[in-house]
Amino acid sequence: MATAPDETGDAFTERQQAVLDAVLALMVEEGGDVTMTMVARRASCSKESLYKWFGDRDGLLTATVRWQASKVRAGNYDRQRLDVLALRDSLTRFAANWLGVISSPTSIALNRFAIAQAGARGSNLGAIMLANGRFAIGERIKPVLEAGRDAGLIGFDDSETAFRSFLGLVGRDVQIRLLLGDRLTLSPAEIERDAARATDQFLALYGTGTAGPVSH
Amino acid sequence: MATAPDETGDAFTERQQAVLDAVLALMVEEGGDVTMTMVARRASCSKESLYKWFGDRDGLLTATVRWQASKVRAGNYDRQRLDVLALRDSLTRFAANWLGVISSPTSIALNRFAIAQAGARGSNLGAIMLANGRFAIGERIKPVLEAGRDAGLIGFDDSETAFRSFLGLVGRDVQIRLLLGDRLTLSPAEIERDAARATDQFLALYGTGTAGPVSH
DNA sequence: TATTTTCCGTACCGTACGTTACGGTTCTCC
DNA sequence: GGAGAACCGTAACGTACGGTACGGAAAATA
C-alpha cells in the first residue's frame, strides 16, 4: 500500500472544500455517475475553475476521496488503565464506530466508486481507501491489542491476524451486502449490540481469563 | 431479495453462452470497461446479433451476471453422519470453497461491476449477486448448522446469526480488500489453513463440546 | 477610480460509445 | 440446387460528456 494515511492533500481552499463536499453529496445521491457539469452546477462554480483547481476529472475525484478520508480520523482508543473492562470498552467503542462508518451512505458511495475504479488500470483510489480506512484503523487498534497481551489479558502470536479476526467478527457480511445494494439498516442500538457481541466473541477466542484460550 | 436463485435465465444458445463467456473474460481482463464493440470482436459476432439476442447493453451484462451465477452452484455439504468430525469437515470444506470463490478473478470482476451498478437507480445486479452468492450459500449451510444443533454439537438461537458469524470468521477483510485492488494472493494452502482456523474458531464460539459454549 | 486577477456562466469542440442500418456470406430447410 | 433466414463485418448516426474558449462580472490591489 503506497499511499500513507498521513499525506492527506487537504491543502484546499474553503471554496475548493465546498466543491469536494458537493462531489460527495452528488456521489451519495446519484451513485457514481457524477459529471463535471453536475459538479459545476451543484457547487455553483465554472467547469473552467474545476479544471484549474483539480487538473482533470480524475484529479477531482481523487481529491474528493482524500478529502473525505481526511475527515474520518475517528476517535483514539486509549490504552491507559488496562483491566479487562477497559480493553472490552475500547474494542467495543472501536467496533461500534467502525460499523457506523462502513454503513454510512458516504462510505458506501465512496467505496462503490473506488471499487469501480479499481478495475481500470492505473487507478489508486482503492489503495487510498484502504490506506485511510482498513489499514489506518488497524494501526490504531493493534497497539490496544498488544497492550492487552502485555497485560496478560489476551493471547495471540500475530496482532495483524488477531485484528483481522476481530474485523471479521465485527463486520461479518455487512459491508459487501450494503455495497451490493442490500437494504440493511443498522440502527444505533443494533450497532451497539453487534459491537458488544463481536467484542465478546473476540475475547472468548483470544482471552486468557475465565474462558480458556483457543488455538488459532 | 426479490430474485430467487432458481430463476436462472440460462435458456441460452451455445452461441449465446459463448458470447457471455467472452463478456466474462473481458470483464476480468479489462475491468468493467467493456464496450459492445469489444464484445462483438471478442466473440466474433456482429453487434446486430448482440442487440437482437440481449436487447441492449444492460441486458447483455445482466445476462452475463445470471449466466455466471448459474455456473457457481458449488458442492453440497451433506449432513449424514453427524459427529463433530463430520461437522467440522463440512464447515471447513464450505469455508475453503467460499474463500476460493470470492478470491477468484471472475468473482472479483463481477462483484466490482455489480457494485458499480448498485449505485445507479433501477439496477438489480447486486440483488442477483447476493441471491446467488451470499444467500444461496446461507441456505445450504444453515441446515448443516441446524443438524449440528439437533445433534447437540453446537448451540445457537438463530441459525442466520450463527451463519453470519461464521461468514465473518471465514471471509474477514478478504473480499473488500480484493475488491479495492489490494494485492492479496490466497494460495490453496493458505485457503485450507484459513478455512480450518475459521472453523476452529466457530466451533470454539458455538460448540457445546470440550470448549465451553459462549453467549452470543 | 483604474487595473489586474479570479471566477462564473455558457457556448463550443472532439471523441467515445451505444445503437441502428446494410451489403455480403453461411446455414437451413424443402 | 434454390429460397429464405440467420448472421458476420463494417459503416454510419446521435448523444453524452470530458475538456477548452470566451465574454462579462466581481473582487482584489494600488
CATH number at residue A56: 1.10.10.60
Give me the pLDDT at residue B8, please. 44
Q: Which of A116, A165, A200 sits opposite B172 (nearest CB)?
A: A165
Inside any domain, residue A126: yes
Rounded-to-integer distance, Cα B54 and Cα B35, Å? 14
Residues B132 and B200 in one domain: yes
Instruction: Choose among A123, A215, A25: nearest CA to B32.
Output: A123
Residues B121 and B167 in one domain: yes
Domain count within chain B:
2
Residues B124 and B137 in one domain: yes
Rounded-to-integer distance, Cα A163 and Cα B169, Å? 11
CA distances (Å), B109 to each of A13, B42, B103, in order? Answer: 37, 18, 10
Q: What is the DSSP code (8-state) at residue A213? A: P
Q: Which residues pair with A19 in a beta bridge?
A: none
The nucleotide minimizing the C1' distance to residue B36's CA is C18
pLDDT tier for residue B176 given thresholds of 50, 70 and 90: very high
* Biggest CA pair distance of chain A: 65
Give me the pLDDT at residue A51, please. 94
pLDDT tier for residue A115 given thresholds of 50, 70 and 90: very high
Lowest-confidence range among A55-59, A75-79, A117-121, B179-183?
A: A75-79
Choose from A47-56, A167-176, B52-61 the range with maximum mean pLDDT: A167-176
Reply yes or no on whether the pLDDT at A81 is more than 70. no
Residues A114 and A178 in one domain: yes
Reply yes or no on whether the pLDDT at A77 is more than 80. no
Q: How far is CA B14 from the centre of its chain?
A: 24
Residues B45 and B94 in one domain: no
**Which comes out higher in pLDDT, residue B22 or A78?**
B22
Whether the CB of B50 is below 8 Å from some CB of chain A: the reply is no
Among residues 118-147 of chain A, which lie with CB inside 8 Å of chain B? 118-121, 123, 126-127, 129-130, 134
The three-class DSSP label of residue A53 is helix
pLDDT tier for residue A212 given thresholds of 50, 70 and 90: very low
Reply yes or no on whether the pLDDT at B79 is more than 90. no
- Integer-rounded Cα Rg, in Å, for chain A is 20
Q: Which residue is nearest to nucleotide C6 (CA to C1')?
A: A49
Rounded-to-integer distance, Cα B181 and Cα B175, Å? 10
For B34, what's the count of Cα atoms within 13 Å in the CB-facing half-sphere? 30
Provide mean pLDDT across the span B20-33.
Answer: 90
The x, y and z cell numbers of residue A136, run together, are: 489506518
Instruction: Choose among B102, B130, B176: nearest CA to A108.
Output: B176
Cα angle value B131/B177/A60 (rounded, 5°): 100
A211: left (phi over 0), alpha (psi -120 to 50) or beta: beta
CA distances (Å), A214 to each of A155, A156, A206, B84, B172, in order? Answer: 9, 9, 6, 17, 18
Residue of chain A minimizing CA distance to B193 = A216
CA B48 to C1' D10, in angstroms, rounded, equals 11
Q: Which residues pair with A207 in a beta bridge?
A: A154
Rounded-to-integer distance, Cα B62 and Cα A122, Å? 27
Residue of chain A minimizing CA distance to B116 = A116
Cβ atoms B84, B151 nearer than 8 A: no
pLDDT > 70 in chain B, percent: 86
Q: What is the DSSP code (8-state) at residue B80? A: -
The residues of B between 136 and 195 with beta carbon within 7 Å of nucleic strand C are none
Kindly report the average pLDDT of chain A as a whole number: 86
Residues B134 and B147 in one domain: yes
Rounded-to-integer distance, Cα B139 and Cα B189, Å? 27
The x, y and z cell numbers of residue B55, run together, are: 436487447
Give me the pLDDT at residue A35, please. 94
Inside any domain, residue A104: yes
**Which comes out higher in pLDDT, residue A71 or A184?**
A184
Q: What are the backbone angles phi and psi of residue A154, rounded to the nearest 5°?
A: -135, 165
Inside any domain, residue B7: no
Question: Which CATH number does the domain housing residue A179 bear?
Answer: 1.10.357.10
CB under 7 Å from any atom of strand D: which residues?
A 33, 35-37, 46-48, 51, 56-58; B 13, 15, 40, 44-49, 52
The nucleotide minimizing the C1' distance to residue A36's CA is D18
Provide mean pLDDT across the span B38-50.
Answer: 93
What ranges in B31-173 are assigned the alpha helix state H?
Answer: 36-43, 47-54, 57-71, 84-102, 105-119, 125-130, 136-150, 159-171
Residues B128 and B166 in one domain: yes
Reply yes or no on whether the pLDDT at A122 is more than 80. no
The three-class DSSP label of residue A143 is helix
Residue A212 neighbours by CB under 8 Å, 6+ apart: B211, B212
Residues B66 and B103 in one domain: no
Side chain identity, residue A211: A
| Chain length of chain B | 216
Instruction: Choose among B122, B129, B178, B127: nearest CA to A111.
Output: B178
Cβ atoms B163, B145 nearer than 8 A: yes
pLDDT > 90 in chain A, percent: 64
Inside any domain, residue A99: yes
What ranges in A31-173 are assigned the alpha helix state H?
Answer: 36-43, 47-54, 57-71, 84-102, 105-119, 125-130, 136-150, 159-171
Residue of chain A minimizing CA distance to B119 = A31
Find the helix packing angle between A84-102 and A188-206, rounded to 10°. 130
Residues B111 and B162 in one domain: yes
Residues A85 and A186 in one domain: yes
Q: Which residues pair with A154 in a beta bridge?
A: A207
Inside any domain, residue A7: no
Kindly report the average pLDDT of chain B as a whole number: 87
Q: Which residue is nearest to nucleotide C21 (CA to C1')?
A: B48
Provide mean pLDDT across the span B16-37.
Answer: 91
Inside any domain, residue B56: yes
- Domain hosting A178: range is 76-206
Residues A176 and A104 in one domain: yes
